[in-house]
Amino acid sequence: MNLHDLEKVESPSFYLDLALRKARERAANLGTLKGDKLQKARILALTKLTTVQATIASTLRRLVRSFPSFDDLPEFYQELCKTSFSLNDAKKALATLEWVASQAQRFGREYARKIKTARTVRDVHAHRAAFYGRSASLLKQAKNALRFLEAVRKELKTFPAVKTSIPTVCIAGLPNAGKSTLLAKLTTAKPKIAGYAFTTTQLNLGYARKGPLKLQFIDTPGTLARPEKMNRVERQAHLALKYLADLIVFVVDPSGQVDKGRQKKLFTQLKRLDKPIILYASKADLVGEDAARMALDELTRAALPRATRPQELLQLVVTALKEA
């Protein structure tokens, strides 16, 4: 799901100016008007009025439609929303825009009747000006809703664009264990890789195909923090492991660069998610096959699938998903 292309939410004055500009353009294209001064004034005023109310209503409704239906979002995205902003406030803000759109149309009908029955040109102009004033006031009532929705839009843009309809494998492990390197070897992804911890500052996504099976891999930054202490990316990783992962690959660093106690503690946390786990020893090409296997045995003696080579791991992943 991609939430990165939502339309920017502007200020009340922006939408009023847009409506008035379109009204002027529409009026300018009317050409030569027939009738006496009063008839011409009515035609001109009604043209501007209908354009203003239609522009306000259609623009705000388009804005409402551009946002996702929060109740219909996959569970991962719903939970991510809940940790980022109030879903109830977002729904109320969208409802406010829908109400403003409906009121703009109601005011349009009301003042259209007044203009049609106006007896003087001056009355026509007065009714048109009154409608403009009511429209401006109406949009100002949506100021807080618009501001809040723009904040929501910016937050939604930070959400990862994961696919929720295909098998998902989350790669977990402590910082600098080799998760991003593994992702690059298994998929076509090009994550940032460096020889120091905390290189992963976002959820890196990659895709691989094994026969007819398409797999989504998510590189999750390792953390031992409690949920309330997590930063934005750690929170996304926690929710991905909980709601997206069909299977977890736990990356073990056999080189001694990662604290074994912390590594075991993170592994214990992941087991509580009750998801299938495959163990993978990174850097086997540096420390040797025996040292890599030994590191896996030191972590746990449990009968879990384990691998030291990327293609060996990929085959284990496919087998585990088929058996799930």
Helix (H) or strand (E) holding 146: helix 143-156
Cα–Cα nearest to 33, from 23, 21, 43: 43
Strand partners, 306: 279
pTM: 0.84
Question: CA of 27: how far to CAs of 7, 21, 107, 218, 250, in Å?
Answer: 28, 10, 20, 55, 66
Q: Cα-flanking dihedrals φ and ψ of residue 167, to 5°?
A: -55, 135
Phi-psi region of 68 (alpha: psi -120 to 50; beta: other; left: phi over 0): beta
Cβ atoms of 299 and 263 closer than 8 Å: yes
Could you report the per-residue pLDDT of 167-185, keeping only the tens digit for each? 999 999 988 888 988 999 9
- In the chain, CATH 3.40.50.300 covers 168-323
Could you report the per-residue pLDDT of 249-289, keeping only the tens digit for each? 999 988 888 788 888 999 999 999 999 999 999 888 878 88
CA 242 to chain centroid, in Å, comes to 18
Could you report the per-residue pLDDT of 207-260, keeping only the tens digit for each? 998 888 899 999 987 666 666 677 888 888 889 999 999 999 999 988 888 788
d(CA 115, CA 107): 12
Could you report the per-residue pLDDT of 132-158, keeping only the tens digit for each? 999 999 999 999 999 999 999 999 998
Q: What class, spelled out in words, does domain 168-323 have in CATH?
A: alpha beta
- In the chain, CATH 1.20.120.1190 covers 12-156
Strands (E), the chain: 168-172, 204-210, 213-219, 247-252, 277-281, 306-307
Mean pLDDT of the chain: 90
Q: How confident is the model at residue 201 (pLDDT cuts 50, 70, 90)?
A: low
- The architecture (CATH level 2) of 12-156 comes to Up-down Bundle (1.20)
Residues in contact with 48: Cβ distance below 8 Å, sequence separation at least 6, in sequence order: 23, 24, 26, 27, 128
d(CA 255, CA 283): 7
Q: Which residue has the tokens 């976002």?
A: 202
Sign of the four-CA dihedral 71, 72, 75, 81: negative
